[in-house]
Structure 1
Amino acid sequence: MIFVKTQRGMEYIAASRIKDELGDVKIEVRPAGYLGILIVHSDDVEKVKEVPEVERAIPVLFEVKSDLKEIVSRAEDIVKAMGEFRSFAVRTTRRGLKHDFTSTDVNVELGRRIQELSGADVDLNFPEKAVYVEIVNERTFIGVIDGKEEHKKYTPEKVDSTKFFGKISFVQMPYLEDLRGAKQIGERIGRAAQSFEIKELIIAPYNYVNAYELLEFLKGVRRGQTARLKIQRKSYAREVREVPVYVHDLYQTVRDKRRRRNVLIVTDPTGKQLSDIKEELKKAFRRADEIVVFAGSRVGLPKGIFRFADFVIDLTPYITFATEHTIPTTLIALLDVYEELEKELREEGKENGEGSSDQIG
């Protein structure tokens, strides 16, 4: 038997595709009326996984009554079925309102018993084995999958991009043309800056500017930032940092940011391709306390500040991208360099018998 999870509304399509793979097999679609699940009466889990509509296929070891003691009583059989493992996690989903226990009760009690029997560690993030307890009213399905099959947002191999973006000050010349256009572009820039949770966004004119156009641009920045911040706070389990936004003269910003351990980057079509200076950038990032990126808008950056930049980079040779695309385009390109550096440092750490790298900055 296989417990299958799908997107809600995709159950019947998934069932049809599974029958294409397995033939006329018995399938319970939406058991007890619950969306997003199927029970396939077959053991051929690999063929079921061939169906794209299937989100997760859990081979069922046991079906028991939805009673906490009965679920926990199968711990010994579960451990035998799991083979050799050093760490595990119990994942329980409870469907139905008439149970005298919670999903947490199952996780704790069954997990404690498995740990007693096996001596393995509980690892909720990266377990070698994951025990799934799927409760559907009075029926409970227990299965085990390899921890590597779980799709995780964050794994030890992934580089933490927030660490890098938290060092970036983005200096953006304001987009000033008309009131409506200024506000629209400002909104997109504010949204982008908040999305990456950079250290700060500095809006930097360098001459007299129309006060009302600048006002509308800044209103747009705030509106875009606030909209994105609300989404982040709803979506992220971690604390979200609100990006500070400042207004400062461009030339004075250059003076203020010229410090020994800061790296100043200008984006301009006259610069070098990223691939040509990648190794130099890695060395600079390795020592950097702060990475300061300067970007123009409709009017390019004044050439005088180029002399004070550590790097002048042409991110997309022969292509000029829109002002509102500058932040995401630049940061994604620089993140690629940072990820390479982090991986190299990790390899160095392994060779020297050290842990993962925290050496940048």
Structure 2
Amino acid sequence: MDRVDIIVTCRLGMEKIVASYIKDIETGVEILPAPFNFMGLILVAGSRDRYRLADEIKRSVPEVEKIYIVDAIAKSDIQSIVDAVKRVVQGAINPNESFAVRTVRRGRHSFTSIDVNIAVGSIVKDVTGARVDLDNPDKVVFIQIIQDYAYISIVPGKEIIRKMKPYKFPMYKLFRRFVVVHEPYLGPEDASYTMGVRIGREVQTYEVGELVVAPIGSVDAYSMYHFLRGLFEGIESRYDIQRKSYGREVHRVRVSIQDMYQFIRSHMGEPIIVFEPEGEPISKLANEVSEFIVKSVKAGKKIYMMIGAREGIPTGLFRYASYVLDIAPGIVISTDYALASALIAITTVLHEKLSLEREEIEKTLDTS
């Protein structure tokens, strides 16, 4: 379509439903759901007041995820897009503001989205004098290319939903300094294997630095084999997903085995946190624990987190722990959720402090 007022996105398969709701808001508009069979997309044209219509859609159609008011339309070649952007950014982006360019292509073209971003970013900078900020821009020049046409929208940066906001600390950087000491779940073949898979996916999800499988004394080798088989399958399956979908380097969790008592003997005096119901509520010691972890990290130390399974961490080892913490008083957490629960609890008590000291801590983590 060479005349579009608004572009709307929704969950795949809901295009016609959303289109019908928009028609109820303003009769007479032309609506094209799933243009060229591109699912999750609706084009709206012929509105009497595109701004009023966009506001009304935001208020009354929860099925809609994103709404873009189209400020300019161009042919789907880079020079035409640059020329159109040059016209619309004047006065829309001020010299004292920051901006970013986002391009989404649908269909086949002789150029990439990155090619468009570079060309458009250069002209926006030249025309407006604004600076580029890819992480937290004041304005975003959003370009949606659909087959033969490019639709250009200038969107306030605050309207772009991000997973990582500037005040959020990337916890995976800290978790790489954690060593999880986990008692293996040993029992029937299928149970050991299944629990191994779940724990493997857990440790890889959080990208902890290392997992130490720590049996207590002599254990059945056959059960341990099936636990380890599941563990490595869980790690690999999650790692493959992360590597394909994350826009950053992913750490594959290292795995070692050491008897739990020998592990304690090897690490006496180091930062050790045991998670067991006999401990103090983590909420009671939140400030103290967060200070302890941050201080240890700044000193270049690893944090050892001990998680039990069927037997739990032997109480005699509590004497050698820096802290023994209960993350859910009165609740018995199953083995496959124990580690995730512990790491989420640690994140909750730590995150604010990490955010306040982000620059210093990230520098320590990146150089260690």
TM (normalized to structure 1)?
Answer: 0.90
- Decide whether the 8 Å contact of 1:172 with 1:204 is kept in 2: yes
Deviation at 1:268, TM superposition (A): 1.6
Deviation at 1:360, TM superposition (A): 7.2
Give the 3 Å change call, closer, same or farther, for CA 125–14 of structure 1 in structure 2. Answer: same
1:326 aligns with 2:338: yes
- Decide whether the 8 Å contact of 2:93 with 2:128 is kept in 1: no
Q: Which runs of 5+ in 1 are unaligned?
A: 347-354
Kindly provide the amino acid, as one letter, of the partner of residue 49 in structure 1.
K
- Decide whether the 8 Å contact of 1:285 with 1:360 is kept in 2: no
The structure 2 residue matched to 1:268, chosen from 270, 276, 279, is 276
Deviation at 1:308, TM superposition (A): 0.8
Distance 1:92 1:196 in 2: 30
Alignment-derived partner of residue 176 in structure 1 = 186
1:49 aligns with 2:53: no
Deviation at 1:359, TM superposition (A): 7.7
Map 1:311-350; keep pairs closer than 5 Å.
Answer: 311-345=323-357
Give the 3 Å change call, closer, same or farther, for CA 38–180 of structure 1 in structure 2. Answer: closer
1:6 aligns with 2:16: no
Secondary structure in structure 2 of the residue aligned to 1:198: coil
Alignment-derived partner of residue 349 in structure 1 = none
Deviation at 1:274, TM superposition (A): 0.8
Deviation at 1:328, TM superposition (A): 0.4
Distance 1:251 1:96 in 2: 60
Q: Which runs of 5+ in 2 are unaligned?
A: none
Secondary structure in structure 1 of the residue aligned to 2:285: helix
Give the percent of matched residue pairs that are identical in Structure 1 and Structure 2.
Answer: 37
The structure 1 residue matched to 2:99, chosen from 68, 75, 88, is 88
Deviation at 1:146, TM superposition (A): 0.6
Distance 2:58 2:87 in 1: 25
- Decide whether the 8 Å contact of 2:9 with 2:66 is kept in 1: yes
Map 1:32-47; keep pairs closer than 5 Å.
Answer: 32-41=36-45, 42=47, 43=50, 44-47=53-56
1:294 aligns with 2:306: yes
Kindly provide the amino acid, as one letter, of the partner of residue 280 in structure 2.
K
Alignment-derived partner of residue 251 in structure 2 = 241
Give the 3 Å change call, closer, same or farther, for CA 112–143 of structure 1 in structure 2. Answer: same
- Decide whether the 8 Å contact of 1:286 with 1:359 is kept in 2: no
Give the 3 Å change call, closer, same or farther, for CA 20–263 of structure 1 in structure 2. Answer: farther
The structure 1 residue matched to 2:322, chosen from 289, 299, 310, is 310
Kindly provide the amino acid, as one letter, of the partner of residue 314 in structure 2.
P
Deviation at 1:193, TM superposition (A): 0.9
The structure 1 residue matched to 2:120, chosen from 110, 117, 122, is 110
Deviations, residues 184-222 of structure 1 (Å, cap 9, x unaligned):
111211111111111111111122211111111111211
- Decide whether the 8 Å contact of 1:287 with 1:360 is kept in 2: no
The structure 2 residue matched to 1:20, chosen from 19, 24, 45, is 24
- Decide whether the 8 Å contact of 2:72 with 2:85 is kept in 1: no
1:284 aligns with 2:301: no
TM (normalized to structure 2)?
Answer: 0.88
Q: Which moved more, 1:337-346 or 1:244-253?
A: 337-346
Distance 1:195 1:130 in 2: 31
Give the 3 Å change call, closer, same or farther, for CA 359–286 of structure 1 in structure 2. Answer: farther
Deviation at 1:18, TM superposition (A): 1.9
Distance 1:124 1:194 in 2: 28
Give the 3 Å change call, closer, same or farther, for CA 325–105 of structure 1 in structure 2. Answer: closer
Q: How much is the aligned-residue C-alpha RMSD, in angstroms?
A: 2.1
Kindly provide the amino acid, as one letter, of the partner of residue 282 in structure 1.
S
- Decide whether the 8 Å contact of 2:272 with 2:323 is kept in 1: yes
Distance 1:356 1:2 in 2: 44
Distance 1:312 1:258 in 2: 15
Secondary structure in structure 2 of the residue aligned to 1:332: helix
Kindly provide the amino acid, as one letter, of the partner of residue 275 in structure 1.
S
The count of aligned residue pairs is: 350
Distance 1:359 1:132 in 2: 33
